[in-house]
Chain A
Amino acid sequence: MSKTTIVVGLDGSEAGARALDFAKRQAKVIGECSIAICYVIEWSPYSFQTKEENEQRHKRREEELALAHERVMDPAVSQAKEEGFDVVAIVRHGDAADILDSVAKKHDAAQIVVGRVGVRGLKERVFGGVTGRLAAAASVPVTIIP
């Protein structure tokens, strides 16, 4: 029997940490389970940029990836590994809801676990938050941790 995978969305916040804790508890219950910890750097290919920003983009991207690993992913992953969990770390650029769903599809995940926080304000009212959009459109069950 193949392993079950749980995808966890991490964003460096308290709620993200709670989501990871929940995923760990679930993984223990399931037994044969791996956790795909996913951090998404919000980025749109349709934003407008200056020439300098374009010129520097590759450099910035490397810096963003390094920071994400250093501040959020590496501590979470190494702690989970120490606790004996089977973990994969994924850092991507793009739209958080889309990326989490595509990672879940790729790993044939049983569920996505995310914390209940997001960008508040007009943007979220108009376009919906990450959790809202995931709940509405994800191809696997979504657990939202308060």
Chain B
Amino acid sequence: MAIGLPSLAHAQEAVSFDQRVNDIFAGSTGWFVNLIFMNLPGTNFPWIVLWLVVAASIFTIYFGFIQIKAFGHAISLVKGDYSDPEDAGEVSHFQALTTALSGTVGLGNIAGVAVAVGIGGPGATFWMIVAGLLGMASKFTECTLGVKYRNEYPDGTVSGGPMYYMTKGFKERSLPGGRVLAIIFAIFTIGGALGGGNMFQANQAHAQITQITGDFSGLITGVVFAVVVFAVIVGGIKSIASVTEKVVPFMGILYVLAALIILIVNADQIGWAFGQIFAGAFTGLGVAGGFVGALIQGFKRAAFSNEAGVGSAAIAHAAVKTKEPVTEGVVSLLEPFIDTVVICTMTALVITISGVLVMDPATGQFVLNEAGTAIKTVDGSSGVALTSAAFATGFSWFPYLLAIAVILFAFSTMISWSYYGLKAWTYLFGEGKTTELVFKLIFCFFIIVGAAAQLGAVIDFSDAMIFAMAVVNITALYFLMPIVKREMNSYFARLKSGEIIKHNH
């Protein structure tokens, strides 16, 4: 008993620390979250969701359903069919795609889907798929521009992203305000890097670890993560980053395989699950917020997962070596497809089939929790813990594997976003060892905040910052889309005429 007392006191102190951090956090960021997620007058539909959907739809129509038209060509490009052998040795389309994917495939696909399905029901999946398919056009637009207006420095290194196409593209079209947009975008990118790219990851990784080990303070997870990330981004221990970046794609494959096995074992229920997804998409019966709730959750989570329209991927794709910016735009449209249409749907199907969502057998409708904010789950879990519980119905050992996957996903996303954030930071404050170090230290500090704060405040803030990036980025995309169209028409005309040829046969 005497031994137990100090640890009990310590636990209480830790809990109150978490609570304190959460209160300060929620209090200081609440106004921003409210502004970004403000509903359209007289509805409960956030304007930001409409903003993303409208943009993705406009790009889809403006570029003539590029996601369907260029899908096959995207696969050819990734295979290297159009890579000039004389250019070999540069960053390939495959490498640019996998690098960008390692930043987006992560907790959004595991925890985000669970949040969407937990609140919006299986119907949210339908809207997530729709958003994913539409988002392919947004990604095409931003990544084409990312490559076209990247900076190539005398030492051969390249840097690109929305900051560069906002400044250079606006100048080219003689439009004012490019520099102002770039600065605002950079500020939000830093916020997004600290929020969704950092705190959300740390928070969900902690949730997953406690699921396995039992409850302990998020402070501990935060400090451990902060130390490792510090070693990589400040200490220059690139080997850790390079190992994770290489392992993450395999974890992604492993995750999809595990989901596939569960789905194959429960093959008889797949039809029913798709039925739930379609029925729920339009009726939203028995879920929080009804039809609109399903739609909003689907769209929100899809955007958070695949980052289409946000502008982050344009930074990752900019390094590819190609003479044709359109090729990378085309390749990048595979990203929302893999991330959202394939991986997120897998997660949603497993959650739906596993029966972790409580359904009223009499009515066939989902039962809401006591607060009426989400669907009641078998064990009361939400987020990543819900996905873990769903997969555990197929494989009892799965939570352990998922814990490792989540930690690696979280880690690789943090490293990716530290890079995006750093690019934005150096855009604002200039290149230099000291300015870089300052950002990196802030980044590591926020890992601890993220792991210690409670889920609600962190998710809201990270959503808000990333969506704020999309506000600025999409504004710029509207002004620059004629340039993309010109490039696209020229490229596909040359492809058709045989001027651009396949190198591999």
Would you call B155 an interface residue if the criterion is a C-beta within 8 Å of the partner chain's C-beta atoms?
yes
Known A-B contacts A48-B246, A50-B238, A50-B245; the reply to A43 vs B158 at CB < 8 A is no
Contact of B242 among A46, A50, A93 (CB under 8 A): A50
The binding surface of chain B is classed by DSSP as helix
In the bound complex, CA of A94 to CA of B158 (Å): 22
Judging by beta carbons under 8 Å apart, are A57 and B321 in contact?
A: yes
Would you call B334 an interface residue if the criterion is a C-beta within 8 Å of the partner chain's C-beta atoms?
no
Judging by beta carbons under 8 Å apart, are B92 and A45 in contact?
A: yes
* B101: nearest chain-A partner, CB-CB: A48
Judging by beta carbons under 8 Å apart, are A48 and B102 in contact?
A: yes
- Known A46-B94, A48-B102, A58-B90; 14 more pairs at CB < 8 Å: A47-B246, A48-B95, A50-B238, A50-B245, A51-B99, A52-B238, A52-B241, A54-B320, A57-B321, A58-B152, A61-B89, A61-B156, A65-B89, A94-B85
* B316: nearest chain-A partner, CB-CB: A51
In the bound complex, CA of A84 to CA of B436 (Å): 55
Contact of A58 among B156, B241, B248 (CB under 8 A): B156
Would you call A102 an interface residue if the criterion is a C-beta within 8 Å of the partner chain's C-beta atoms?
yes
Known A-B contacts A59-B155, A59-B156; the reply to A54 vs B91 at CB < 8 A is yes
* A44: nearest chain-B partner, CB-CB: B92
Q: Which of B18-51 contact A (CB under 8 A)?
A: none
Contacts of B238 in A (CB 8 A): 50, 52
Would you call A83 an interface residue if the criterion is a C-beta within 8 Å of the partner chain's C-beta atoms?
no
Judging by beta carbons under 8 Å apart, are B85 and A53 in contact?
A: no
Min CB distance A45 to B, Å, is: 3
* A102: nearest chain-B partner, CB-CB: B85
Known A-B contacts A54-B96, A64-B89; the reply to A48 vs B245 at CB < 8 A is yes
Judging by beta carbons under 8 Å apart, are B99 and A45 in contact?
A: no
In the bound complex, CA of A52 to CA of B102 (Å): 13
Judging by beta carbons under 8 Å apart, are B89 and A93 in contact?
A: yes
Would you call B159 an interface residue if the criterion is a C-beta within 8 Å of the partner chain's C-beta atoms?
yes
Min CB distance B413 to A, Å, is: 12
Would you call A82 an interface residue if the criterion is a C-beta within 8 Å of the partner chain's C-beta atoms?
no
Contacts of B248 in A (CB 8 A): 48
Would you call B416 an interface residue if the criterion is a C-beta within 8 Å of the partner chain's C-beta atoms?
yes
Judging by beta carbons under 8 Å apart, are A43 and B319 in contact?
A: no
Contacts of B315 in A (CB 8 A): 51
* A62: nearest chain-B partner, CB-CB: B156
* B155: nearest chain-A partner, CB-CB: A59
In the bound complex, CA of A57 to CA of B91 (Å): 6
In the bound complex, CA of A46 to CA of B98 (Å): 9
Judging by beta carbons under 8 Å apart, are B94 and A55 in contact?
A: no
Q: Which of B63-112 contact A (CB under 8 A)?
A: 80, 83, 85, 88-96, 98-99, 102-103
Q: Which of A23-48 contact B (CB under 8 A)?
A: 41, 43, 45-48
* A51: nearest chain-B partner, CB-CB: B419
In the bound complex, CA of A99 to CA of B246 (Å): 25
Q: Which of A105-122 contact B (CB under 8 A)?
A: none
Judging by beta carbons under 8 Å apart, are A61 and B245 in contact?
A: no
Would you call B249 an interface residue if the criterion is a C-beta within 8 Å of the partner chain's C-beta atoms?
yes
Contacts of B497 in A (CB 8 A): none
Would you call B396 an interface residue if the criterion is a C-beta within 8 Å of the partner chain's C-beta atoms?
no
Known A-B contacts A50-B245, A52-B419; the reply to A58 vs B158 at CB < 8 A is yes
Tell me the count of chain B residues lying within 8 A, CB to CB, of chain A.
37
In the bound complex, CA of A43 to CA of B80 (Å): 14
Min CB distance B401 to A, Å, is: 20
Judging by beta carbons under 8 Å apart, are A59 and B99 in contact?
A: no
Contact of A51 among B88, B90, B416 (CB under 8 A): B416
Judging by beta carbons under 8 Å apart, are B319 and A55 in contact?
A: yes
Min CB distance A44 to B, Å, is: 9
Min CB distance A63 to B, Å, is: 9
In the bound complex, CA of A106 to CA of B325 (Å): 29
Q: Which of B304-334 contact A (CB under 8 A)?
A: 315-316, 319-321
Among A43, A55, A58, A94, the most chain B Cβ lie within 10 Å of the Cβ of A55
10 tightest CB-CB pairs across the interface, nearest first?
A93-B89, A45-B92, A59-B156, A54-B319, A58-B156, A48-B246, A50-B245, A93-B88, A61-B89, A57-B91
Judging by beta carbons under 8 Å apart, are B99 and A94 in contact?
A: no
Contacts of A57 in B (CB 8 A): 90-91, 319, 321
Known A-B contacts A49-B245, A50-B99, A50-B242; the reply to A55 vs B159 at CB < 8 A is yes
Contacts of A18 in B (CB 8 A): none
Among A47, A50, A56, A65, the most chain B Cβ lie within 10 Å of the Cβ of A50
* B245: nearest chain-A partner, CB-CB: A50
Would you call A92 an interface residue if the criterion is a C-beta within 8 Å of the partner chain's C-beta atoms?
yes
Judging by beta carbons under 8 Å apart, are B80 and A59 in contact?
A: no
Contacts of A46 in B (CB 8 A): 92, 94-95
* B87: nearest chain-A partner, CB-CB: A93
Known A-B contacts A45-B88, A49-B95; the reply to A59 vs B245 at CB < 8 A is no
Min CB distance A61 to B, Å, is: 5
Min CB distance B321 to A, Å, is: 6
Q: Which of A75-114 contact B (CB under 8 A)?
A: 92-94, 102
Contact of B241 among A50, A56, A61 (CB under 8 A): A50
